Amino acid sequence: MTTIVVVITNVTMSVQERVAFVRSMAGISAREFDRLSGLAPGHTRLIETGKRSSQEVDTVRGIAQAVGCSLDWLCNGIGEAPTQDQIVAAIARARAEHGDRESGPIVDPDATIEPGAA
């Protein structure tokens, strides 16, 4: 079963909310998200809690690449939000690039995730 998520108000979400949203759709821990995005351990938590409000280009580029979304959407909420399928596929590619051998599902296929619920 594929979950379809429609994000109507991307612009109203902050960067920290969009980061939490894509990470929750990927179904991975903040620690793994840091690793796959090329971030220092703990960096994702700082972003998601608003304790790191200013993001450097390398940080958002790494996140966008790991989850398969555009920089414009991640930073500004402009454009389409990535689908759960796109995020899962991008995370699988990131895992492969990092030499991970995990091939099982990374999200509950029956889960429904709403924007802002992360």
56-112 pLDDT, tens digit each? 888 999 999 999 999 999 999 999 999 999 999 999 999 998 886 554 444 433 444
Would you state the pLDDT for residue 118?
Answer: 41
Specify the CATH number for the domain of residue 27.
1.10.260.40
pLDDT of residue 99: 80
67 falls within a domain: yes
Domain that holds residue 18: 10-97
pLDDT, mean of residues 2-23:
75
The reply to whether 117 falls in a domain is no
The pLDDT value given to residue 98: 85
Higher pLDDT, 50 or 110: 50
Check residues 93 and 5 and name the one with the higher pLDDT: 93
Residue 88 counted as domain residue = yes
Query: Total domain count for the chain?
Result: 1
User: Is residue 118 domain-resident?
Assistant: no
Query: 36 and 110 in contact (C-beta within 8 Å)?
Result: no
What is the per-residue pLDDT across 20-39, written as a single tens digit (0 to 9) for each?
999 999 999 999 999 999 99
Residue 55: its pLDDT value, please? 74
Q: What is the b/e burial string over 22-51, where b = at least 16 CB atoms within 10 angstroms of the residue's CB?
A: bbbbbbbebebbbbbbbbeeebbebbbeee
